[in-house]
């Protein structure tokens, strides 16, 4: 065999091609791992990019250049009228409603729903039994009694006990209002809890209060016998 076979030029070319062949893969690996402000190469588009406006974007079609349209004055969405102030504000004849609105009658189902919602939204501060001793309060007490004293400027207002005579005597409409708008240091829950659920919570709070403040007279006579004296 010829000692110049294969010729050097071919060996050289083969190794050069071999080296260059790695480059595309290296580039792909690099673009896949390095951050980039450009869009990724997107072969199958599906509906990923659509002609539309993002929130807060400019839209010159409108005189005020806003893509997001404000509510049209005087228009009320279906189901959002507040004409029924008993249901939407807890008010009857200018005073806190002493009864539940007709949309939410007190049934076991409503009370169970109220308990579930109360345990989710209220128990963290007010405690499962409503004494104002929820887990947040316990944590705050620990934070306030740090060895170095409370962090500068820290103040803590304990969630009120719902069995306080002052709260216990409140009609359901007033409890509903507290849940809706909050009170003093407590924030309102209108944004998280829809009105019907706020009523179920108000009903459950009344039941919870009764549970700590009942006499034998509150038990129906036919069931008294089954109670321990």
Q: Which residues bind ligand HEC (CB under 6 A)?
A: 121-122, 124-126, 136, 157, 159-160, 162, 167, 175, 178-179, 183-186, 189, 201, 205
Q: Which is nearer to ligand HEC, 67 or 158 (CB)?
A: 158
- Rank residues 104 and 179 by Cβ distance to ligand HEC and give the closer one: 179
Q: Least distance in Å: CB of 89 to ligand HEC?
A: 16
CA distance 201 to 87: 14
Q: Which C-beta is closer to ligand HEC: that of 7 or that of 182?
A: 182
DSSP code at position 188: P
Instruction: Report the residue number, 104 or 122, with the smaller CB distance to ligand HEC.
Output: 122
Compute the C-alpha angle 107/191/195, nearest 5°. 25
Q: Closest separation between CB of residue 94 and ligand HEC, Å? A: 18
CB of 74 to ligand HEC, least distance (A): 32
Looking at the Cβ atoms of 97 and 205, the one nearer to ligand HEC is 205
Determine whether 218 is exposed, middle or buried from the number of CB atoms within 10 Å of its CB (0-12, 13-18, 19+): exposed
Smallest separation (angstroms) from ligand HEC to the CB of 179: 5
CB of 127 to ligand HEC, least distance (A): 10
Angle of CA points 44, 45, 48, to nearest 5°: 140
Q: Which of 3, 211, 17, 7 is nearest to 118 (CA)?
A: 211
Nearest to 209 by CA among 170, 159, 157, 158: 170
Shortest distance in whole angstroms from residue 132 CB to ligand HEC:
8
Please work out, in degrees rounded to the nearest 5, the angle formed at the alpha carbon of residue 104 by the alpha carbons of 102 and 107.
120
Residue 166 CA to residue 178 CA, distance in Å, equals: 13
Q: Which is nearer to ligand HEC, 107 or 185 (CB)?
A: 185
Label residues 91-121 b or e (16+ Cβ within 10 Å = b).
beeeebbeebbeebebeeebbebbbebbeeb
């Amino acid at each position: 065999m010829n000692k110049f076979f294969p010729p050097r030029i071919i060996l050289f070319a083969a190794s050069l091609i071999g080296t260059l062949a790695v480059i595309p893969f290296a580039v792909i690996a690099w673009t896949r791992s390095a951050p980039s402000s450009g869009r990724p190469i997107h072969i199958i588009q599906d509906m990923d990019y659509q002609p539309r406006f993002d929130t807060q974007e400019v839209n010159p079609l409108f005189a005020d250049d806003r893509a997001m349209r404000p509510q049209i004055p005087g228009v009320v969405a279906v189901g959002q009228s507040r004409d029924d102030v008993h249901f939407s504000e807890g008010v009857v004849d200018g005073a806190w409603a002493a009864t539940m609105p007709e949309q939410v009658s007190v049934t076991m189902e409503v009370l169970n729903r109220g308990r579930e919602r109360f345990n989710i939204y209220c128990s963290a501060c007010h405690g499962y039994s409503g004494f104002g001793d929820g887990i947040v309060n316990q944590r705050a007490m620990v934070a306030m009694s740090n060895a170095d004293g409370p962090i500068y400027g820290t103040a803590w207002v304990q969630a009120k006990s719902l069995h306080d005579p002052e709260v216990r005597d409140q009609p359901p409409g007033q409890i509903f209002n507290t849940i809706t708008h909050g009170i003093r240091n407590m924030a309102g829950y209108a944004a998280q809890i829809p009105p019907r659920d706020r009523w179920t919570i108000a009903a459950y709070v009344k039941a919870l209060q009764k549970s700590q403040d009942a006499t034998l007279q509150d038990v129906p006579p036919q069931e008294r016998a089954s109670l321990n004296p």
